[in-house]
Amino acid sequence: MPAVLDRAFADPPAPPLAHPRLRHWAARIKSGATAVLELYQPATALGEVQTDIALHFKARDVPDSLEVCDWDDDLNAGLIALRVRAADSTSETARFALGLRAAMRKTTREFGDGFFNSVLLELVNESDLSRHAAIAEVVRHAHANAPYREGRSYDPCRDMIADAISGRMYELKNELGYPPTEARDILVSSLACYLDERFSVSSRKRLGLL
Amino acid sequence: MPIDIEPHKQVCTLLLFVATQAEEDALIAVATERGIPFERIKHPKLGEYHWLGQVGDETVIASRPVRESGRVVMGEIGRLGSAARGIRFSEATGAKGIVQLGMAFGIDSGRQKLGDVLVSASLIPYDNRDVRGSPNGMPGYVTDYSSATPQLARIELVELFRREAVRGGRTFQVDVGAILSGAARIHSRAFRDELVAGVPGGDDPIIGGDMEGVGLLAASVSRREPIWCVVKGISDFADEDRDAVINESRGPACRNAAAFVLSALVNDRN
């Protein structure tokens, strides 16, 4: 009889969903329920402070239950893996903006806010993304230094940012099954939201500074 | 009415906050020695601040001490306190980090010396406490600090300063740990030691205390994304000798903190 570790190496089982909520939701979906996600983000004068995930379950197309919890990056990643879409494009855009923030967090911690902003803005400006109206409007009001290209950090920082964005496109197309055009539209809108928050564009407009 | 300031001088990635004239003077002096520009800007909505431009990889704005009726306003409370200023400035400039710079008290004159620099890995808001009558009808009261739980500082900034701390080559020691923060101006060894003994322990050793840092807790949009870090030089030990030493010690304490922060930014160029 092979040892446990040897079996794990030879034939690794699929990892269990880590969060108990995800295991519960997965069981419900497996037994025939459907779920859609809605985000509730009450606006405050100082920007959003709390995001709630609201999961609408249906059994045989009949509304069954509503589960609400605090936004959690891991829960969201698990819901994407369970192929749970958002109820509408507004929620999907907001969800993927938060997903981008989660994906970029490691990069900002490793390279610092200033360097990260520089590389991010450069990447966006050199791509076709900057021609999309929503992104162009944000980038117009964003400022960052030119990134320092001579050090060891420039290339890995660029790669990590690009991976964070392409990873979200993978989720939209391959996990949630959106057609390419719709996936692109969602990601462009999400990236515009993320950039807006990153460079405080709407906050500054609200304060009458732009 | 359009604001007549170049747009890029109204935004930054890092804010440096100072609360007193001595702290501002030290920052100006150290920046000038290093050839870092220090342009005073008068903003119609934010008031006066200093534009330092690019320092290392960050774009830096330094606030000015706030005055009301000619007197500097210190502490975290009120519309001119660090809480209100932190919120206003971070929203208006897009800053992702705020460093509260200046002077603090140490807690161990046997191990620490005046001028050493303290970096907050966390802040302990000691005013979040319950004060109750003594049990069994005894006179006096007891203070319960169990609610004064440590709040973590912005990890990006703590790591930046940890990296600078190990570079060495300075005449002062750098301590990274938990900083007590609250509204009291402390001149009592007994009260200081009561705080150190009474607040909940966390992962970080308690290294000192200040007054403004606790206000910056309000500037973070969420607890999981803190925006602040406190870097301050030891000007006294919050004891009965405080008033006797602080006039001499505040200048060097503030200079050391300013020098440490600016060096961290310059030396950490990616």
Per-residue pLDDT tens digits for A98-145:
999 999 999 999 999 999 999 999 999 999 888 999 999 999 999 999
Question: Does A209 contact B92 at a Cβ distance shorter than 8 Å?
Answer: yes
Question: Does B94 contact A145 at a Cβ distance shorter than 8 Å?
Answer: no
Residue A48: pLDDT above 90?
A: no
Q: Tokens 């030891």 identify what position?
A: B234
The residue in chain B having the minimum alpha-carbon distance to the alpha carbon of residue A101 is B225
Phi-psi region at A30: left, alpha or beta (left = phi > 0; alpha = psi -120 to 50): alpha
Note the ipTM here.
0.84
Q: What mean pLDDT is reported for chain B? A: 90
pLDDT of residue B50: 95
**Beta bridge partner(s), residue B67:** B72
B11 vs A143, A154, A157: nearest CB: A143
Is the full-model pTM beyond 0.95?
A: no
Optimal mutation site among A48, A50, A104, A113, interface B, most CBs of chain B within 10 A: A113
| Dihedral of the alpha carbons of B24, B93, B3, B52, in degrees to the nearest 10 | 40
CATH 3.40.50.1580 fits B7-267, yes or no: yes
- A35-49, A51-65, A156-170: least confidently modelled range: A35-49
Residue B62: pLDDT above 60?
A: yes
pLDDT band at residue B51 using 50, 70 and 90 as cut-offs: very high
pLDDT band at residue A50 using 50, 70 and 90 as cut-offs: confident
B217/chain A closest Cα distance in angstroms? 13
| Dihedral of the alpha carbons of B105, B107, B112, B116, in degrees to the nearest 10 | -20
pLDDT tens digits for range B226-241: 999 999 999 999 999 9
pLDDT band at residue B177 using 50, 70 and 90 as cut-offs: very high
Phi, psi of B245 (to 5 degrees): -105, -25
Alpha helices in chain A (DSSP H): 4-10, 20-30, 73-81, 89-111, 113-125, 133-139, 154-170, 180-198, 201-206
Task: For chain B, list the strands marked E by DSSP.
Answer: 14-17, 39-43, 47-55, 58-63, 67-68, 71-72, 97-106, 117-125, 130-133, 141-144, 151-152, 174-181, 206-210, 228-236
The domain ranges of chain B are: 7-267
Phi, psi of B133 (to 5 degrees): -60, 150
A115 vs B11, B97, B270: nearest CB: B270
Chain B residues with CB-CB distance to A under 8 A? Answer: 3, 7-8, 10-11, 13-14, 45, 54, 56-59, 87, 91-94, 96-97, 155-156, 159-160, 221-222, 268-270
The domain ranges of chain A are: 4-206
DSSP string, A133-177: HHHHHHHTT---PPP--SSSSHHHHHHHHHHHHHHHHHIIIIIS-
Task: Give chain A positions within 8 Å (CB) of B37.
Answer: none
Phi, psi of A57 (to 5 degrees): -100, 145
Residue A210: pLDDT above 90?
A: no
> Which one has a higher pLDDT value, B270 or A54?
A54
Per-residue b/e over A134-163, b at no fewer than 16 CB within 10 Å? bbeebbebbbbbebbeeeebbeebbebbee
A62/chain B closest Cα distance in angstroms? 36
Say whether A86 sits in a helix, a strand or coil.
Answer: strand
Question: In the numeric block, which tokens belong to residue B253?
Answer: 């304490």
Question: Does B7 contact A141 at a Cβ distance shorter than 8 Å?
Answer: yes
pLDDT tens digits for range B112-139: 999 999 999 999 999 999 999 999 888 9
B92 vs A144, A154, A207: nearest CB: A207
pLDDT of residue B198: 93
CA distances from A121 to A167, B11, B227 (A): 18, 15, 21
Q: Please compute the mean of the pLDDT values over residues A90-98 and round it to a whole number.
A: 95
> Which one has a higher pLDDT value, A43 or B152?
B152
pLDDT tens digits for range A19-35: 889 999 999 999 999 99
Distance CA B175, CA B165 (A): 8
The answer to whether B156 and B166 are in contact (CB under 8 A) is no
